[in-house]
Amino acid sequence: MKRFIISLTIIALILVGCKGSEQQNNEDAQNVINDEQETKDDTTDGGQSDNDVLVDGTEEEIATSLNKAFMDKDFEFVSNNFNYSAQLKQMVNVEMLKSADSQINNLAGEFEKVLSTQVVEQDNNKIVIITNKYSKSNINCTVSFNKDKVIEGFSLTPAQDVEEVSVPENVKEIPVEFGEEEYRLPGLLTIPKDKDEYPVVILVHGSGPNDKDETVGPNKPFRDIAYGLASKGIGVLRYDKRVFAHRDKWISEQEELTVYDETIDDVVYAYDYILDNKDINATGVYVLGHSLSGYLMPRIANEIPDASGYVVLAGPSRPMEDLLVYQIPYLSNLDGKITDEEQQQIDYYQSVYDKVKNIDESSNYTTADLGGLGKAYYLDLKDYKPAIVAKDITKPMLFLQGKRDYQVTLEDYNIWKESLGSKDNVTMKLYDGLNHLFMKGEGTPNPDEYFIPSKVDDKVIEDISEWISSN
Protein backbone atom coordinates (compact mmCIF):
# COMPACT_ATOMS: atom_id res chain seq x y z
CA MET A 1 0.00 0.00 0.00
CA LYS A 2 1.01 3.61 -0.14
CA ARG A 3 0.18 6.94 1.44
CA PHE A 4 -0.70 6.91 5.07
CA ILE A 5 0.04 3.29 5.75
CA ILE A 6 3.19 1.36 6.24
CA SER A 7 4.14 0.93 2.64
CA LEU A 8 5.54 -2.22 1.11
CA THR A 9 8.92 -0.49 1.03
CA ILE A 10 8.26 1.28 4.33
CA ILE A 11 9.83 4.35 2.74
CA ALA A 12 7.35 6.88 4.11
CA LEU A 13 4.39 7.34 6.36
CA ILE A 14 2.27 9.60 4.23
CA LEU A 15 -0.90 11.42 5.04
CA VAL A 16 -0.94 13.08 1.65
CA GLY A 17 1.58 14.23 -0.91
CA CYS A 18 3.17 17.63 -0.54
CA LYS A 19 4.70 20.12 -2.91
CA GLY A 20 8.37 20.17 -3.61
CA SER A 21 11.23 18.03 -2.37
CA GLU A 22 12.27 17.91 1.26
CA GLN A 23 15.57 19.69 1.66
CA GLN A 24 18.25 19.60 4.32
CA ASN A 25 16.94 21.50 7.29
CA ASN A 26 18.63 24.30 9.20
CA GLU A 27 19.86 23.01 12.57
CA ASP A 28 18.66 26.16 14.35
CA ALA A 29 15.06 25.59 15.30
CA GLN A 30 12.57 28.31 14.45
CA ASN A 31 9.92 27.02 16.80
CA VAL A 32 7.12 29.54 16.44
CA ILE A 33 3.99 28.28 18.17
CA ASN A 34 0.69 29.88 17.39
CA ASP A 35 -0.95 30.91 20.66
CA GLU A 36 -4.28 29.56 19.48
CA GLN A 37 -2.82 26.05 19.62
CA GLU A 38 -2.11 26.27 23.34
CA THR A 39 -5.79 25.85 24.18
CA LYS A 40 -7.33 22.53 23.20
CA ASP A 41 -11.06 22.29 22.71
CA ASP A 42 -13.16 19.55 24.20
CA THR A 43 -14.71 17.64 21.33
CA THR A 44 -16.23 14.31 20.66
CA ASP A 45 -14.31 11.90 18.44
CA GLY A 46 -14.62 13.14 14.86
CA GLY A 47 -16.78 16.13 15.85
CA GLN A 48 -16.16 19.82 15.35
CA SER A 49 -14.08 21.94 17.69
CA ASP A 50 -15.87 24.74 19.53
CA ASN A 51 -16.79 27.35 16.91
CA ASP A 52 -14.51 25.51 14.45
CA VAL A 53 -11.93 28.33 14.74
CA LEU A 54 -9.28 28.08 12.04
CA VAL A 55 -5.67 28.73 13.03
CA ASP A 56 -4.39 31.90 11.37
CA GLY A 57 -1.00 33.57 10.99
CA THR A 58 1.94 33.19 8.65
CA GLU A 59 2.45 29.92 6.83
CA GLU A 60 5.26 29.09 9.24
CA GLU A 61 3.09 29.80 12.29
CA ILE A 62 0.20 27.73 10.92
CA ALA A 63 2.47 24.80 10.08
CA THR A 64 4.17 25.02 13.47
CA SER A 65 0.79 24.99 15.18
CA LEU A 66 -0.31 21.97 13.15
CA ASN A 67 2.92 20.13 13.93
CA LYS A 68 2.61 20.86 17.64
CA ALA A 69 -0.99 19.65 17.73
CA PHE A 70 -0.01 16.41 16.03
CA MET A 71 2.93 15.86 18.37
CA ASP A 72 0.60 16.56 21.32
CA LYS A 73 -1.76 13.93 19.87
CA ASP A 74 -4.56 16.49 19.66
CA PHE A 75 -5.92 14.90 16.51
CA GLU A 76 -9.33 16.58 16.71
CA PHE A 77 -7.63 19.96 16.61
CA VAL A 78 -5.50 18.89 13.64
CA SER A 79 -8.58 17.64 11.82
CA ASN A 80 -10.90 20.56 12.50
CA ASN A 81 -8.93 23.75 13.00
CA PHE A 82 -6.90 24.18 9.82
CA ASN A 83 -7.86 25.45 6.39
CA TYR A 84 -7.36 22.37 4.22
CA SER A 85 -8.24 22.02 0.56
CA ALA A 86 -11.45 20.07 -0.04
CA GLN A 87 -9.49 17.05 -1.30
CA LEU A 88 -7.18 17.02 1.71
CA LYS A 89 -9.99 17.57 4.22
CA GLN A 90 -11.39 14.12 3.35
CA MET A 91 -8.17 12.46 4.47
CA VAL A 92 -7.19 14.40 7.56
CA ASN A 93 -9.60 12.89 10.03
CA VAL A 94 -9.10 11.68 13.59
CA GLU A 95 -8.96 7.98 12.74
CA MET A 96 -6.35 8.46 10.02
CA LEU A 97 -4.26 10.73 12.23
CA LYS A 98 -4.29 8.21 15.07
CA SER A 99 -3.21 5.51 12.65
CA ALA A 100 -0.34 7.62 11.32
CA ASP A 101 0.81 8.46 14.83
CA SER A 102 0.82 4.80 15.84
CA GLN A 103 2.87 3.84 12.80
CA ILE A 104 5.35 6.64 13.37
CA ASN A 105 5.77 5.57 16.99
CA ASN A 106 6.46 2.01 15.82
CA LEU A 107 9.10 3.28 13.44
CA ALA A 108 10.67 6.26 15.13
CA GLY A 109 9.87 5.92 18.83
CA GLU A 110 8.47 8.77 20.91
CA PHE A 111 8.52 12.46 20.02
CA GLU A 112 11.15 14.47 21.92
CA LYS A 113 11.50 17.93 20.40
CA VAL A 114 11.47 20.08 17.27
CA LEU A 115 14.93 20.35 15.72
CA SER A 116 14.43 22.86 12.93
CA THR A 117 11.99 24.67 10.68
CA GLN A 118 12.56 25.64 7.06
CA VAL A 119 10.35 27.66 4.72
CA VAL A 120 10.72 27.08 0.98
CA GLU A 121 9.06 29.22 -1.70
CA GLN A 122 7.98 27.56 -4.94
CA ASP A 123 5.86 29.11 -7.68
CA ASN A 124 4.33 31.69 -5.30
CA ASN A 125 3.46 28.90 -2.86
CA LYS A 126 5.17 28.11 0.42
CA ILE A 127 6.30 24.80 1.89
CA VAL A 128 7.16 24.53 5.57
CA ILE A 129 9.40 21.62 6.60
CA ILE A 130 9.63 20.93 10.34
CA THR A 131 12.12 18.29 11.47
CA ASN A 132 11.07 16.52 14.67
CA LYS A 133 13.42 14.49 16.83
CA TYR A 134 12.02 11.14 17.95
CA SER A 135 13.78 8.70 20.24
CA LYS A 136 14.90 6.44 17.36
CA SER A 137 15.04 8.71 14.31
CA ASN A 138 13.86 12.05 12.95
CA ILE A 139 10.55 12.73 11.20
CA ASN A 140 9.81 15.59 8.81
CA CYS A 141 6.40 17.24 8.96
CA THR A 142 5.91 19.00 5.63
CA VAL A 143 3.00 21.38 5.09
CA SER A 144 2.32 22.85 1.65
CA PHE A 145 0.30 26.06 1.17
CA ASN A 146 -1.15 27.71 -1.91
CA LYS A 147 -1.06 31.49 -2.37
CA ASP A 148 -4.25 31.85 -0.30
CA LYS A 149 -2.67 29.96 2.63
CA VAL A 150 -4.90 26.94 2.06
CA ILE A 151 -3.11 23.74 3.07
CA GLU A 152 -2.82 21.54 -0.03
CA GLY A 153 -0.33 19.01 1.29
CA PHE A 154 0.54 17.48 4.66
CA SER A 155 3.07 14.68 5.03
CA LEU A 156 5.02 12.91 7.76
CA THR A 157 8.11 11.18 6.44
CA PRO A 158 11.44 9.90 7.78
CA ALA A 159 14.00 12.70 7.58
CA GLN A 160 16.56 11.79 4.97
CA ASP A 161 20.17 11.33 5.94
CA VAL A 162 22.48 13.69 4.04
CA GLU A 163 25.61 11.54 4.08
CA GLU A 164 27.57 11.96 0.87
CA VAL A 165 28.88 8.81 -0.79
CA SER A 166 31.39 9.13 -3.61
CA VAL A 167 30.70 7.67 -7.01
CA PRO A 168 33.05 4.71 -7.61
CA GLU A 169 36.15 5.63 -9.64
CA ASN A 170 35.22 3.35 -12.54
CA VAL A 171 31.71 4.80 -12.76
CA LYS A 172 30.22 8.08 -13.95
CA GLU A 173 26.79 9.57 -13.38
CA ILE A 174 24.86 11.73 -15.80
CA PRO A 175 21.78 13.76 -14.77
CA VAL A 176 18.80 13.03 -17.03
CA GLU A 177 15.19 14.06 -17.38
CA PHE A 178 12.37 12.32 -19.22
CA GLY A 179 8.63 11.69 -19.11
CA GLU A 180 5.52 13.34 -20.42
CA GLU A 181 5.50 17.12 -20.51
CA GLU A 182 3.31 17.56 -17.44
CA TYR A 183 5.30 15.08 -15.35
CA ARG A 184 8.97 15.44 -16.20
CA LEU A 185 11.08 13.20 -13.98
CA PRO A 186 14.67 13.95 -12.88
CA GLY A 187 16.99 10.98 -12.71
CA LEU A 188 20.53 9.68 -12.93
CA LEU A 189 22.12 7.43 -15.51
CA THR A 190 24.97 5.53 -13.84
CA ILE A 191 27.32 3.90 -16.34
CA PRO A 192 30.74 2.21 -16.47
CA LYS A 193 33.53 4.58 -17.52
CA ASP A 194 35.51 2.05 -19.50
CA LYS A 195 32.77 0.73 -21.78
CA ASP A 196 31.16 2.14 -24.89
CA GLU A 197 28.41 -0.48 -24.89
CA TYR A 198 26.65 -2.03 -21.91
CA PRO A 199 23.29 -3.40 -20.81
CA VAL A 200 21.08 -0.98 -18.89
CA VAL A 201 18.77 -1.74 -15.96
CA ILE A 202 15.79 0.49 -15.11
CA LEU A 203 15.15 0.59 -11.35
CA VAL A 204 11.45 0.87 -10.47
CA HIS A 205 10.29 1.85 -6.98
CA GLY A 206 8.12 0.32 -4.33
CA SER A 207 4.94 1.97 -3.08
CA GLY A 208 4.76 5.55 -1.86
CA PRO A 209 6.46 8.74 -3.01
CA ASN A 210 10.05 7.51 -3.42
CA ASP A 211 13.09 9.41 -4.60
CA LYS A 212 15.54 8.02 -7.14
CA ASP A 213 17.56 6.24 -4.43
CA GLU A 214 14.49 4.73 -2.71
CA THR A 215 15.79 6.41 0.43
CA VAL A 216 14.86 4.96 3.83
CA GLY A 217 16.41 6.96 6.66
CA PRO A 218 20.18 6.64 6.16
CA ASN A 219 19.83 3.86 3.58
CA LYS A 220 19.65 4.20 -0.20
CA PRO A 221 19.11 0.77 -1.74
CA PHE A 222 18.74 1.97 -5.34
CA ARG A 223 21.99 3.93 -5.10
CA ASP A 224 23.71 0.80 -3.78
CA ILE A 225 22.39 -1.25 -6.69
CA ALA A 226 23.29 1.43 -9.26
CA TYR A 227 26.88 1.78 -8.04
CA GLY A 228 27.30 -1.97 -7.64
CA LEU A 229 26.04 -2.88 -11.10
CA ALA A 230 27.82 -0.01 -12.87
CA SER A 231 31.07 -1.12 -11.25
CA LYS A 232 30.47 -4.50 -12.92
CA GLY A 233 29.90 -3.00 -16.37
CA ILE A 234 26.12 -2.56 -16.30
CA GLY A 235 24.38 0.79 -16.74
CA VAL A 236 21.53 1.79 -14.44
CA LEU A 237 18.76 4.37 -14.84
CA ARG A 238 17.03 5.50 -11.66
CA TYR A 239 14.64 8.43 -11.24
CA ASP A 240 12.32 10.21 -8.84
CA LYS A 241 8.90 8.61 -8.81
CA ARG A 242 6.05 10.67 -10.24
CA VAL A 243 4.21 10.91 -6.91
CA PHE A 244 7.46 12.18 -5.35
CA ALA A 245 8.46 14.69 -8.03
CA HIS A 246 4.91 15.98 -8.58
CA ARG A 247 3.13 15.50 -5.28
CA ASP A 248 1.15 18.70 -5.69
CA LYS A 249 -0.46 17.40 -8.88
CA TRP A 250 -0.92 13.92 -7.46
CA ILE A 251 -3.03 15.11 -4.54
CA SER A 252 -5.51 16.78 -6.89
CA GLU A 253 -5.76 13.59 -8.96
CA GLN A 254 -5.69 11.03 -6.18
CA GLU A 255 -9.27 9.86 -6.57
CA GLU A 256 -8.52 8.71 -10.12
CA LEU A 257 -4.96 7.49 -9.57
CA THR A 258 -4.11 3.96 -10.73
CA VAL A 259 -0.86 1.99 -10.81
CA TYR A 260 -0.43 3.11 -14.41
CA ASP A 261 -0.36 6.76 -13.35
CA GLU A 262 1.74 6.02 -10.30
CA THR A 263 4.32 3.66 -11.80
CA ILE A 264 3.82 1.82 -15.07
CA ASP A 265 3.53 4.72 -17.53
CA ASP A 266 6.83 6.17 -16.35
CA VAL A 267 8.66 2.85 -16.75
CA VAL A 268 7.62 2.98 -20.41
CA TYR A 269 8.96 6.54 -20.68
CA ALA A 270 12.24 5.42 -19.09
CA TYR A 271 12.53 2.52 -21.53
CA ASP A 272 11.84 4.77 -24.53
CA TYR A 273 14.35 7.33 -23.22
CA ILE A 274 17.10 4.70 -23.25
CA LEU A 275 16.26 3.50 -26.75
CA ASP A 276 15.94 7.01 -28.19
CA ASN A 277 19.10 8.45 -26.61
CA LYS A 278 21.94 8.27 -29.12
CA ASP A 279 24.49 8.63 -26.32
CA ILE A 280 23.36 5.38 -24.69
CA ASN A 281 24.66 2.30 -26.49
CA ALA A 282 22.54 -0.28 -24.69
CA THR A 283 23.17 -3.91 -25.57
CA GLY A 284 19.96 -4.77 -23.74
CA VAL A 285 17.42 -3.13 -21.43
CA TYR A 286 16.22 -4.85 -18.26
CA VAL A 287 13.55 -3.75 -15.80
CA LEU A 288 14.06 -4.27 -12.05
CA GLY A 289 11.04 -3.78 -9.81
CA HIS A 290 11.16 -3.66 -6.03
CA SER A 291 8.14 -4.46 -3.87
CA LEU A 292 5.05 -2.84 -5.48
CA SER A 293 6.80 -2.73 -8.86
CA GLY A 294 7.65 -6.40 -8.53
CA TYR A 295 3.94 -7.03 -8.01
CA LEU A 296 3.28 -5.02 -11.17
CA MET A 297 6.03 -6.65 -13.25
CA PRO A 298 3.62 -8.76 -15.36
CA ARG A 299 1.80 -5.55 -16.32
CA ILE A 300 5.09 -3.77 -16.96
CA ALA A 301 6.21 -6.66 -19.18
CA ASN A 302 2.93 -6.39 -21.10
CA GLU A 303 3.69 -2.71 -21.79
CA ILE A 304 7.38 -3.37 -22.59
CA PRO A 305 7.40 -6.86 -24.15
CA ASP A 306 10.72 -6.27 -25.93
CA ALA A 307 12.73 -5.69 -22.75
CA SER A 308 15.66 -8.11 -22.40
CA GLY A 309 14.44 -9.42 -19.04
CA TYR A 310 12.69 -8.64 -15.77
CA VAL A 311 13.95 -8.71 -12.17
CA VAL A 312 11.56 -8.92 -9.21
CA LEU A 313 12.95 -7.95 -5.80
CA ALA A 314 10.61 -8.85 -2.92
CA GLY A 315 7.55 -8.63 -5.13
CA PRO A 316 4.24 -9.51 -3.48
CA SER A 317 2.08 -12.04 -5.27
CA ARG A 318 -0.95 -11.57 -3.02
CA PRO A 319 -3.42 -8.66 -3.22
CA MET A 320 -2.20 -5.49 -1.53
CA GLU A 321 -5.05 -5.45 0.98
CA ASP A 322 -4.05 -8.95 2.11
CA LEU A 323 -0.61 -7.65 3.05
CA LEU A 324 -2.23 -4.83 5.01
CA VAL A 325 -4.13 -7.09 7.37
CA TYR A 326 -0.95 -9.06 8.02
CA GLN A 327 1.54 -6.21 8.39
CA ILE A 328 -0.43 -4.00 10.75
CA PRO A 329 -1.06 -6.65 13.46
CA TYR A 330 2.52 -7.92 13.07
CA LEU A 331 3.98 -4.49 13.81
CA SER A 332 1.50 -3.79 16.60
CA ASN A 333 2.43 -7.01 18.36
CA LEU A 334 6.22 -6.67 18.16
CA ASP A 335 6.42 -5.77 21.86
CA GLY A 336 4.10 -8.63 22.79
CA LYS A 337 1.07 -6.48 23.51
CA ILE A 338 -1.50 -4.52 21.56
CA THR A 339 -2.60 -1.16 22.94
CA ASP A 340 -6.08 0.28 22.48
CA GLU A 341 -4.73 2.68 19.85
CA GLU A 342 -3.03 -0.15 18.00
CA GLN A 343 -6.23 -2.18 18.08
CA GLN A 344 -8.09 0.78 16.60
CA GLN A 345 -5.54 0.85 13.81
CA ILE A 346 -5.92 -2.90 13.23
CA ASP A 347 -9.70 -2.51 13.15
CA TYR A 348 -9.46 0.41 10.74
CA TYR A 349 -7.35 -1.53 8.23
CA GLN A 350 -9.57 -4.55 8.61
CA SER A 351 -12.45 -2.29 7.57
CA VAL A 352 -10.36 -1.12 4.59
CA TYR A 353 -9.75 -4.76 3.68
CA ASP A 354 -13.45 -5.57 3.87
CA LYS A 355 -14.39 -2.61 1.69
CA VAL A 356 -11.73 -3.39 -0.92
CA LYS A 357 -12.78 -7.03 -1.18
CA ASN A 358 -16.34 -5.94 -1.99
CA ILE A 359 -15.62 -2.82 -4.04
CA ASP A 360 -17.32 -2.26 -7.37
CA GLU A 361 -18.29 0.64 -9.63
CA SER A 362 -21.29 1.47 -7.45
CA SER A 363 -19.22 1.76 -4.25
CA ASN A 364 -19.24 5.23 -2.76
CA TYR A 365 -16.00 5.20 -0.76
CA THR A 366 -13.70 8.15 -0.13
CA THR A 367 -9.91 7.91 0.07
CA ALA A 368 -10.28 8.10 3.85
CA ASP A 369 -12.45 4.98 3.75
CA LEU A 370 -9.82 3.15 1.72
CA GLY A 371 -6.62 3.95 3.61
CA GLY A 372 -5.63 6.95 1.48
CA LEU A 373 -6.21 5.45 -1.97
CA GLY A 374 -9.09 6.08 -4.32
CA LYS A 375 -11.70 3.64 -5.58
CA ALA A 376 -10.13 3.70 -9.04
CA TYR A 377 -6.86 2.32 -7.68
CA TYR A 378 -8.48 -0.76 -6.22
CA LEU A 379 -10.89 -1.35 -9.08
CA ASP A 380 -7.95 -1.39 -11.48
CA LEU A 381 -6.28 -4.14 -9.42
CA LYS A 382 -9.41 -6.13 -8.67
CA ASP A 383 -8.88 -9.81 -9.54
CA TYR A 384 -5.27 -9.13 -10.63
CA LYS A 385 -3.17 -12.25 -9.99
CA PRO A 386 0.42 -11.46 -10.96
CA ALA A 387 1.78 -15.00 -10.59
CA ILE A 388 -0.84 -16.23 -13.07
CA VAL A 389 -0.41 -13.35 -15.53
CA ALA A 390 3.37 -13.84 -15.45
CA LYS A 391 3.03 -17.32 -16.97
CA ASP A 392 2.71 -15.64 -20.37
CA ILE A 393 6.08 -13.88 -20.08
CA THR A 394 8.70 -15.61 -22.27
CA LYS A 395 11.66 -13.32 -21.58
CA PRO A 396 14.08 -14.18 -18.73
CA MET A 397 12.81 -13.44 -15.23
CA LEU A 398 14.75 -13.32 -11.94
CA PHE A 399 12.99 -13.45 -8.55
CA LEU A 400 14.94 -12.55 -5.40
CA GLN A 401 13.60 -12.73 -1.84
CA GLY A 402 15.07 -12.14 1.63
CA LYS A 403 14.06 -14.64 4.28
CA ARG A 404 13.85 -11.92 6.98
CA ASP A 405 11.33 -9.85 5.00
CA TYR A 406 8.21 -9.37 7.14
CA GLN A 407 6.50 -7.10 4.60
CA VAL A 408 6.61 -9.38 1.58
CA THR A 409 7.08 -12.84 2.98
CA LEU A 410 8.00 -16.34 1.89
CA GLU A 411 4.30 -16.93 1.32
CA ASP A 412 4.47 -14.49 -1.60
CA TYR A 413 7.70 -16.01 -2.89
CA ASN A 414 6.24 -19.51 -2.78
CA ILE A 415 3.18 -18.43 -4.78
CA TRP A 416 5.52 -17.13 -7.50
CA LYS A 417 7.52 -20.35 -7.29
CA GLU A 418 4.51 -22.63 -7.52
CA SER A 419 3.25 -20.79 -10.58
CA LEU A 420 6.54 -20.13 -12.40
CA GLY A 421 9.30 -22.20 -10.83
CA SER A 422 9.27 -24.93 -13.49
CA LYS A 423 9.59 -22.49 -16.42
CA ASP A 424 12.95 -22.47 -18.22
CA ASN A 425 13.05 -18.68 -18.36
CA VAL A 426 12.64 -18.22 -14.58
CA THR A 427 15.41 -18.09 -11.94
CA MET A 428 14.57 -17.84 -8.24
CA LYS A 429 16.89 -17.14 -5.29
CA LEU A 430 16.40 -16.89 -1.52
CA TYR A 431 18.76 -15.09 0.87
CA ASP A 432 19.28 -15.92 4.52
CA GLY A 433 19.33 -12.95 6.90
CA LEU A 434 18.18 -10.27 4.42
CA ASN A 435 15.21 -7.97 4.95
CA HIS A 436 12.87 -6.15 2.57
CA LEU A 437 15.67 -3.80 1.51
CA PHE A 438 18.01 -6.77 0.94
CA MET A 439 20.14 -5.61 3.84
CA LYS A 440 21.30 -7.78 6.72
CA GLY A 441 19.53 -7.76 10.07
CA GLU A 442 19.35 -9.74 13.27
CA GLY A 443 16.65 -10.90 15.67
CA THR A 444 12.95 -10.45 15.06
CA PRO A 445 12.42 -8.55 11.78
CA ASN A 446 11.18 -5.04 12.56
CA PRO A 447 11.18 -1.54 11.04
CA ASP A 448 13.88 -0.24 13.39
CA GLU A 449 16.56 -1.92 11.30
CA TYR A 450 15.67 0.23 8.29
CA PHE A 451 17.12 3.19 10.19
CA ILE A 452 20.47 1.52 10.87
CA PRO A 453 23.00 2.53 8.19
CA SER A 454 23.57 -0.45 5.92
CA LYS A 455 24.04 -1.49 2.29
CA VAL A 456 22.35 -3.84 -0.14
CA ASP A 457 24.12 -7.17 0.27
CA ASP A 458 26.98 -7.72 -2.21
CA LYS A 459 25.70 -11.19 -3.07
CA VAL A 460 22.42 -9.74 -4.35
CA ILE A 461 24.21 -7.32 -6.68
CA GLU A 462 26.57 -10.07 -7.81
CA ASP A 463 23.66 -12.41 -8.61
CA ILE A 464 21.84 -9.73 -10.61
CA SER A 465 25.03 -8.96 -12.55
CA GLU A 466 25.72 -12.63 -13.34
CA TRP A 467 22.10 -13.22 -14.38
CA ILE A 468 22.21 -10.26 -16.79
CA SER A 469 25.52 -11.45 -18.21
CA SER A 470 24.07 -14.91 -18.86
CA ASN A 471 20.91 -13.56 -20.49
Q: Which residues are part of the catalytic machinery?
A: 291, 405, 436
Q: How many residues does the chain have?
A: 471
